[in-house]
Amino acid sequence: MTRLLLGTNFGAWFGVVLFFCGCAHLMGRALAESWRPARHAVPYALLLSIGDRLVIYLLFEGNLFSVPGFIIDTYLIVMTAMVTYHLTLAAQMVRQYPWLYERHLLLGWREKQKR
């Protein structure tokens, strides 16, 4: 069942996805630190997903054209990149403009309240 869904066994899939989610984490952080818009993460994440499928196919004899596997991998990689992007951007805004902004929840910031 797992081979049909993910294109390979669970152990190989988990290791490869963990590696590519780490790459997506670094990519999201780099995009936020260079003040690029979040929409730039999507094409890069799609390239990482294609790389993910290629590694599974070439190293673990998985199914290259597993559509559910590609969708699951792409979702995890895009979400990792986006969450990292917003975490980094929120921290950067508060760090660079402490007189204007304060942290609000986990992924956001807001203007400081007048006292």
Query: What pLDDT tens digit does each residue of the chain (115 aa) get?
Result: 777 778 889 999 999 999 999 999 999 999 999 999 999 999 999 999 999 999 999 999 989 899 999 999 999 999 999 999 999 999 999 999 999 999 999 889 999 887 6
Query: Residue 46: inside a domain, yes or no?
Result: yes
Query: Residue 23: inside a domain, yes or no?
Result: yes
Query: Residue 3: inside a domain, yes or no?
Result: no
Query: Residue 1: inside a domain, yes or no?
Result: no
Domains: count for the chain: 1
**Structural domain of 23:** 9-111
Query: Residue 2: inside a domain, yes or no?
Result: no
pTM assigned to the model? 0.90
Q: Rounded to an integer, what distance in angstroms lies between the CA atom of residue 97 and that of residue 88? A: 14
